[in-house]
Each structure stands twice: as structure tokens, then as C-alpha cells.
A and B are shown apart, each in its own frame.
Chain A
Amino acid sequence: MSLSFASPLLLWGLAAAALPLVIHLFFRRRPKPVPFPAIDFILRARQETRRRLRLKKILLFLARTSLLAAVALAIARPRLVAPEARAAQGPAGPAAVAIVLDASASMGYRLGGGTLFDRAKADALEVLTGLGSDEPATVVLCGGPLVPQAEPPSFDKAELRRRLAEAELTHGHADLTSCTGAAVRALSESAPGQALRRKLYVATDLTAVSWRLDAPAPVVTTPAGPVRPEVTLLDAARGEALENAWLSNVAADPDPAIGPRGYRITATVNGQRKEPEGDATLSLRIGVGKEARVAVKSFIEIPQAGSMKKTLSHDFSPGGPAAVSLALPEDAYPEDNALFLTLNVPREVKALLVDGAPSPVRQRDAAFYVEAALAGAASPVRPSVVDLDGLSRVRLADYDVLFLLNVRSLGPKAPEVVDFVERGGGLFLAMGDEVDPESYELELKAVLPAPLHVVKTAASEHGEHAAARFAEVDWEHPALSVFNGPAREGFESVRTYRYMLLKPERKDSGSRVIARYDDGSPAFIEARRGQGRVMLYTSTLDQEWSDWAIRTSFLPAMQRIAAFLAGGLEERRDWPTPVFAPRLVPAPEGVQVISLLAPDGGERKVEAGRGPWAVTPDVPGLWQVRVRRDNGKEGLDPTLAFAVWPDPRESDMRRLEPSELTAWFGGEGHARVAGDRPPGEGREVPLWSWLLLAGLAAFLAEALLVA
């Protein structure tokens, strides 16, 4: 066993033990002269007590000196180190030192009034302070997406101190295996001619996800061959378990049960705790910043270990883009207590149905079926029906979508319809006996996805085998993406007896066929015209040419098509991205993106020019986009806001057993954990508590002697 000190610099405090001697020699009080008659008695009394007083003085001096020396020694934290533990500290002599500071998001965990990162930084600075002038050092900051870089050790301690002092916590993940590898490589480059020891200090929270123990442990390359570094793990958590509760996922799905703009928000709640926590609140907040409000609050039980799901429903009327967040009560690691989600809730769509062939027989009236499909309680569409005569009296600008159902010709209204589409309106064309391809070619050529050709009859009778079926369906199309699994059967089983053939479209027409019949003829064809969208269905929406109107797929498909044509459905759903994952900010037409507003309030400028812009969000939360429109107005565009989620790996606070890590570094002969949990229980005996006891005993002895 040998004696060592955790803070040897503090041994300077031992000088305080000389204070009683200094006071005795230099600050002795001069006795006050006093005449006194019975001086003989004083002489005799002093003679009798002289020996006892001298002994008392010596004891008092020893007690005071011991008290100061014991306290000064205790502050330096001495300990007896067993030979094997001593070996972990390596032989004496100067060393090249690499300090790895874990700056990953999990280091933001709050413990004892501060973050683990604050502690780790203080530990690293203490190590740097304790280095001798002949010991070069380097610092590696570990966290975020960047590849860890380590410069060769240098003697510029001031620069290293500045780097450590200015180091900031990141919101990313730390791969400490890579970081320690980089640090050890830097140690390999330090003064190869000198016989320096190689020391590696890692200030971390010891979370298991930061280490890849299946990789080989780093070794220092020296001229004499590979050497394991002397590793000291500075445990910022001081051996304490890190409890955490977090949200790992939030998903939103339409919930027609509560309305056309109803959504089910499902949160996945995880717990890593000593005990489950009951009656924890899960809040659904809408909005961001000061305008955020709690819409729904629910009580859940956070599991001790594992996860659970909780679904909250909310009606997001009147629709439009919405920023939603789900939040747990803030705990020691607040980064993962809330997750944002952006929704594009469909607005109310006003649809005008132009019935080209009104019929008293409902089965022969397409408008009857379409109106019934669009006017459901959960439908975002509000339909109105007019005939051709009525169309002339209607102001198209009051509507979002125009349905032309078996209309022969628009006549003088045609230019207005074309203008309506090019200004952003939606147009749906359904065929029928009344449709005249030539009139359409003349009047609507500018907006038609493809020129009409002739009507094809697939089956003269309503027969099961003769009818055409939908095939080659683009299920990813927003209008059809609602059909999943068995639900697709309701669409694929539609029987079509007659349909309009189309002339081959030009390659630059911008049209897209989203469903064809089994003979390859287009069934649905879609195109963008101007700012509007046009969709052409080559059969009828009554039961004359097809039985789709009575199929289960008709109602949702028509509602989705109406919403799509009105611009209420996006082609791609905006999924949240993890922090530090690159993503593209789209460039809508007529809009210039200026900057991104980060959740922490910072503004990130984007390069001038046309997008899309590639960005790497470095803070979790809701990112908003500041835009300048063609009309010169600037502001935040809520449709472009996107959610960034914290790195899920950092939420896993399970810690490594120190023995696992020291074993990975080569065993206790090469690695140890500094702090309150030294490796090899019993190999190191802390002496400071005994010294404090000795100091207390000296203090009591001094008090007794003085009394």
C-alpha cells in the first residue's frame, strides 16, 4: 500500500500547520505589569504548577498543529493505494495527457443543482490544472455529428483551458469510442522521442449508448510497439443512477369520428426509473412560443422500465397548418420531455358540382352520387349543385373546386373556367354520354390533362367478366393513399363498362396517370395547370358507365380528390427529422426563403437563390421558416415549419458498470474511475474521513485543554 493524493496541489495547505508556532514566536502578547502585594504566593503557585503548565502548553501546541495539519491533509484527499491500483496510475514521471469531454445531449441531465456537463467541465479543468509544466496535453470535445478531431498534445495550457471553458453542450450524440480513439491517436503523435507516459482522461456520464465495446480498445502506437494508455474515467454522475422519462414518438392520424379536422395524436412514453410514476400529466399543446396553449391534458402512468402508448384526440378546426407538441412534466433531462409535430389540417373545401345531365332517376344522375359522397359529416367538402344554365350565374371565384359531371360544353363560361384553374382552382372532369370531345378540345384545351378521343365500350352488358378493372394504381398519390391493405379491394373491384379513350398526351404536358384500366387506358389522369390542378376521370360518376359510385371506395376517394384539387392535401407528408439529420426546406412558388428560426430563438440565414435548401438542424424543437413573398411581404410561413426531434439514443440513460469499461480499456492495471466509486472496491482506502476525525479529536482536546 502506498499513499497518494487526489489533489496534491492542496498539500500547500499544510503550511497552515506552522501557524501556532508562528503565532507563538512572533505574535506573543506582552504581559501587562501589575503591582501586587502577595507576590510570594504567586511565586510558589507558579513553582508548583510550572511542570504541569509546560506539559499543557506542549499538548495545546500539538493539538492545534495537529488540527490544522489534519484538515489540510484531508482537503488534499489522501488515500492508500494497493499495488495493483497504483499500477493503474502508472509509474511516476511526466505524461502526455488527452482529455475527452463528453458534450452529448445526455450531459444536459441536471443533478445536484447543475448539469452533468458543468461537472464534467470542472473535472476536466481540474485535471488540466493539476498537470505539470513538462506535461503536454490535448482536448477532444465529443458530441454532435462532426468527426472527432484531436490535435497533438501541446504545452499551451492557456489555450486548452480556454477551449474547455468555452466548450458548449450539444444536442447530438457522442460516440466516445471514436473520440477516445482520436485522443489516443493524438497521444501517439506526441513527442515520440521522449519517454512520456500516456494518460487519457474521459469526463462523461458513462451512459452505455455512447460506447461501442465490441470495437477494439484504443492503444498508443510507440516505437516500442502498441501500449495501452493510462485511462481515468471522470464520472460526472458520481455513481448515481440517472432516471429518465421521455417521449420517443408522436404520430397523428385523421379521426373522422370527431369531425373532418379531427386527429388522433398517439404518443409513445418511455420510462427508466426506480419506480413507476402514476398521475403524470401528458399535455397536448397547440402552437409555439407565447401563443402555445394546452388543448388536452391527460394523466398517464410512466412505466418503471419500458414504454406505453397514449392517444389523445383533438379537432383542429378550422384547419390549416398546425404545430402540435406533446409534453411530459419536465424532469432532470428536459430535452426529451416534449416532441413537436407539424400538421397540415385540411380546410373546408367549397365544391361546385355542374350536373350536365340532370335526371329524375337518381341512379342516372352523377351529381346525386357525388353530392352524397362529399356532403358527409366527416367530409371537409361543402358541395353545391347547379345545372348548365345555373353555371352561367355562378361566380367561380367563390369556390375551390369545380366538378364538371357529364357536361357537353361550357360555352361562354369556358374562358372563365380556364382562368379559374390557372388562378389556383381545382377542376374535376367526369365523362358521360353528353360529353363532346371536340367541344372540350376547343374550350378547355388549355387545362385538359389530355385530349379526349372516343368512348370505348368494354362490355355491352353489365357482366362480371367483361367489365374493365382499375390497374396500375399509384397508391402513393395523396388522393388514393388512404387505401391501405384490404381497403384497396374496394377500389380495385370497381367495374367499368364504358370509358373515354384519350389521345396520347404530349411529353411536356405535365400530366400524370394515376390509375389505368387493365387494358392500359388511363382511368384517372392528373395535371397542374397554372396554379391549379385538374383531374380527369374517363368514366361516369353515376351507374351508367361504371359501378364505382356504389362501391365503398367512392366516398373517401371523392373527398380526398376534392381536397387534393383544392390544394388541401400535400403530396408528401412532412415527417419530423432527428436533430443533426440533414433535410431539405422546399421552395414554394412565389416564395423566397430568407432564414430559419431555430427553437432556441437563433436565426439561421439561408443562401440566396432558389431552393430547396439543405439544412442541418442542430436543436430539437419546432423550426420556423421566414419567407419573402412575391408581393414583397415578409413573415413566417406556417406551412413550411418543421419539427426536429431529439436524438433518441441520448434518452437512454442506462449507465455502464465501471468495471465493464475499465476491463475494455485493459483492466484495472490500465484504467480506473475517479471520484466516489474507485475501481476495485477496497483496493483504495480513502483517508480523508479519518483525518477529519483526527482533526475533530484534536479540536476537542484543544477545547478541553483551554477549559
Chain B
Amino acid sequence: MRDVAIIGVGMTNIGKFPDRMLSSMGREAVIAALKDAGVPPKEIQAAYSGTSLGGALLGQRIFKDLGMSGMPINNMENACSSGSSAMREAWLSIASGLYDMVIAVGSEKLSALGGGTLPLEREDLEVSGGMVMPALYAMRARRYMHEFGATPEHLAKVVVKSRRCATKNPQAQFRKETTVEEVLNSRMVADPLTLFQCCPMGDGSAAAVLCSADKARQYTRQPILIKGSILVSGRFDNSFRDMTTPEITVRASKLAYEMAGIGPKEVSLAEVHDAFSIAELLYYEALGFCGRGEAPKLLDEGATEIGGRIPVNPSGGLISKGHPTGATGLAQTTEIVWQLRGQAGARQVKNAKVGLTHCTGGGIYGLDHGACSIHIFTK
């Protein structure tokens, strides 16, 4: 397999844009990524478009009005992992030697769905019985608190850190600081998760231009190498699965670290799937940043702040930057690329050398999550 580099990234702001067309947001991200890469658009040999609810042929709807048509366009869906799945296929197409230069774009317009929780697949038994994503994570939180003595305040502290990081991210959806009290007093969604602990519904798009590593230096002095690219699906289990150990993330991260030839200690910063406050705590442990039950302590120590030893979600994460589901995997990639290049402005992590993105997708009965995709990037 050949080495693959990212030579350009771009993203829209994240927020509620009911007057924007989804494909228009996709085009904005694509144009930004191509400009950042400095490549003539006609050099792009294939496109990978991820969206979970954006409808048929979104890739074609994005690219045809740019005159980028006729090439292979792959439309991918893996729920909230759609964008990172698109990245993964883009990586694979170059690593395998099939193409030299491709583009991946993730887009979502959740404001088009009205309010409430994310609509899930009604054919699923648990969904038809009343399961919603906040409830799934709420039950994980309840069990985690029962087993390890974590408190609602620990959950709220995840959100306080998230908002603080997002004040430094002009493209984030929520950029105002908050307090533990304000988080806990916000409206209850599924106990113990209150509104501020849930990622918002939002719109946005992000894109990345990928290129074979040997060609990358023709375009940029700062190619970012993809050292690990993993996609796994959840393992079906009808029995007594430990809901405080996200098996899909544990498995995917082991494979990603192995592929990249590193361990969790070598990671300079990570963008993880904090769809809800409890998620970030569980992922500190599942990604190997601390031991079982130690996540609240890691957070309390300040280790995962921008200035800490393992910054997590310096962008504000899903909770504050936002979670236009299909875009997220590529929005995380954009942040890591900026960080590794030293272009992250006020939220720059010092000495960023190795970045990790972690994205999970979907809730269906019997699985931890439907999909998980992890990427590891280096300078």
C-alpha cells in the first residue's frame, strides 16, 4: 500500500442554515479544500461523498455544478460515520494505487428535519420500542456512574471544557462559555443527560483533498500523512455486553495504532466522537488515554485541555463545534490537519505531531454502534 497525504482541507461554518441548500454547503467546502490544496479541479480523479440523511446522489448534486462530473462519484452512508467512511474509501483508493488524487466531502443539513431527536431506522426493534440516541448514551452514563462513582458534575465538566475550546473556534456552532451549574440546570433530555450535554442538530460540510505522498510535495510544503485508516462495524451481541466499554472503539483503535506503529502515548491530540458528554469520558478510556474508570480524573487534571498532555476536541468537539452528522468525520480531519500545520490560531496545540480522529455511527439493536472509523495523521 502506498503512502497517502492530505494536501488541502476546507469546511463551512457549523450552525443552523435553513436557507442554504445542502449541495451548496458541500460545494463551499469542496472549493475551500481545492483552494487550500492549490490543485486544478480537473486533476481530481474520483470523489467520495458522505451523508447520513442528505438523500440520493448528493455527490453528483455537489460536483456537477462545479463542472466536476463524469468521474467516479461514490455516495457513502454509515450514519454519523458517513464522512469518515468517505475519507477511508478515499484513502484506500490512493493507497491501493488506483488513483493519485481524489477528494472526500461530508455534508449534512439537520435543520431540514425539524426539531427533536435524530430520526432513526424504524425497522429496528429497539427504535420501534422507544429508543432514541440520547437515551442510549444516558443508559451508558447511568451504568458508568453506578460502576465507577462518577457524578453528574463530571459529565457537566466535559461540556464546560468543550465550550471553552469552542470560544477559540470561529466556525463552531456554540461559542459561549458555560458553567457546571448552567449545564446541569438545562432541560433534561434523557436522565442524566441534560440539553447542554447533547450535541446540537446543525448543518455544515467539510472536505479534504488526498494525494499520493510522492506527488504531494508538488502542491504543498506541509503534506499531512495518513498513517492509520480503519473502518469497523459493531459486533452483534444479544447478551450481557459491558455498556461502559465501547467495544467498537477499543477494537478500531487497536487496529489503528497497530497500522500506524504507535501507541496512545504518542498521540499529540485527538478529535473524538463526543455526541454526548458521557461519550468523551468513555473514549478517553477506550482510546487508551487512561485506565478504566479514570476518565473523570483525567478531565479534572486538565490533561485533555488545549494546554494539557493529551488535548481532546480542541475544536469544541461535537458538543460545541456541532455535529452535522455526515460532515463530522471530515470536520475532525480538517481540525487535525490545521493543528499539525500550526494553523489552528488561538486553539493551537503546541508541538502537535500526531493527530487522531475517532468517529462512530448509528444506534441499532445488538451493536455497540453501527460503525467506527479512526484515522491517524502525522506531519
Q: Do A and B come from one complex?
A: no
